[in-house]
Amino acid sequence: MRKLLKKIFGTGKEAEVVELAPAPAAVAAQPPAVVPVDPFHLGLSDALASGWYLQDSDELYRGFQISADDVVLDVGCGDGGNALFCANRGAHVIVADIDPVKVDATKQRLADSSARVVQGLVSDVNPLPLVDGVASKVISMEVLEHVDDPAQFLRELVRVGRSGAQYLLTVPDPVQEQLQKEVAPAAYFQKPNHIRIIQRDEFEKMVTDAGLVIEDHSYYGFYWSIWWLFFWVCKVDHSNAHHPLLDSWTKTWEILMQSPNGEQVRKTLNDFMPKSQVIIAHKP
């Protein structure tokens, strides 16, 4: 080595040779940790982008406006989120559900709202304990897939709506339901859960056969279609739904929504495989 250095650098004073320490062994790169994003908060943001809960225009869903003059019937009220939106507009709100616990909880949730009146009904809608033509707005979201007789159920909703009443109806979309059926627990597709998958044309026929006129048929929730598919695979508790796969999907969707073409992609995917289909209709 010394002779080689002398040959390169000349015959003067010998160059000082510095022994180099061996290079450290390569360390495998670690992927950056995924910072968990609240999937339900992101889902709400996605819903807002799809036309839900429009505060400035008082539309529960685009084309379905609520005012203080309305009498709103929410059948299958669940946790009361939709009823609360209506109550905060000063409407008379009637919440109905087969589960008395949900009815009581929703009434409590609406107790301090701006609603003119809050009523609670425990009912299987066979029949509804209401007089004909009482409601100006009727909401029933993600219920028809549960009931034994959808035609009878819709007839009751139509009976209690006044002439000109608007209806906001949603059911799961069939493409994602078929996927869920492959991975969800068997009980998810057994009574009292989903006992039927409703095709898009079938949903429209149910509504028109009941005597309603369809104003709009739209789709939303691709984000939830994939989230629920992964949820069943991850086998985590719904009350603490964190898992690397779920957290990665939520973060991916958040990044997509922040991208320049995110909104265009979201709309395309919502049409391709939405979580739910939405019909707005009215009673002649």
CA distance to 127, 143, 187, 209, 281, per residue, from 203 (Å): 22, 12, 23, 10, 12
Q: How far apart are CA 98 and CA 115, in angstroms?
A: 22
Sign of torsion, CA 223 49 273 277? positive
Strand-strand pairing, 92-97 and 117-122: parallel
**What digits encode the pLDDT tens for the residues 196-245?**
999 999 999 999 999 999 999 999 999 999 999 999 999 999 888 899 99
Question: 3-state secondary structure string, 12-58?
Answer: CCCCCCCCCCCCCCCCCCCCCCCCCCCHHHHHHHHHHHHCEEECCCC
Specify the 3-state DSSP secondary structure of 11.
coil
Give φ, ψ of 117 to 5 degrees: -145, 145
Q: Name the pTM for this structure.
A: 0.86
Q: How does the average pLDDT of the chain come out, rounded?
A: 90
Least confident of 25-34, 123-132, 165-174: 25-34
Cβ count near 134 (within 10 Å): 17
**What digits encode the pLDDT tens for the residues 36-51?**
678 999 999 999 999 9
DSSP states of 164-175: EEEEEEEEE-HH
Residues sharing a CB contact under 8 Å with residue 186, sequence separation 6 or more, in sequence order? none
**What digits encode the pLDDT tens for the residues 128-173?**
999 999 999 999 999 999 999 999 999 999 999 999 999 999 999 9
Burial of 16 (0-12, 13-18, 19+ CB in 10 A): exposed
Run of H or E including 203:
helix 200-209
